[in-house]
Amino acid sequence: MKTSPPEGNHPDKSKLIQICASQNDLFALDSEGIVYQYHFKGRMWERLDERRAFSSLPHEDRA
């Protein structure tokens, strides 16, 4: 059974400009600078919360 993620929560596949993979994770960056994480069990991309990405930056790199 295939399900579609909520509108606005997944990238347009033609807009992905970079994909990064590790042993357990898959991330993608779209042309607007939005980062997504792939959920293998749900077979869908999830947009990462900007606050989560921002809080992981070293203090001196924050705007």
**5 found inside a domain:** no
Asked whether residue 4 carries a pLDDT value surpassing 90, the answer given is no
Domain limits for position 22: 14-55
Cα torsion angle, 61, 45, 9, 16, sign: positive
CA distances from 42 to 3, 13, 37, 38, 46 (A): 8, 17, 11, 9, 10
**9 found inside a domain:** no
**50 found inside a domain:** yes
The mean pLDDT value of the chain amounts to 73
**1 found inside a domain:** no
Domains: count for the chain: 1
Tokens of 31: 């042309």
pTM: 0.59
pLDDT interval class at 20 (50, 70, 90)? very high
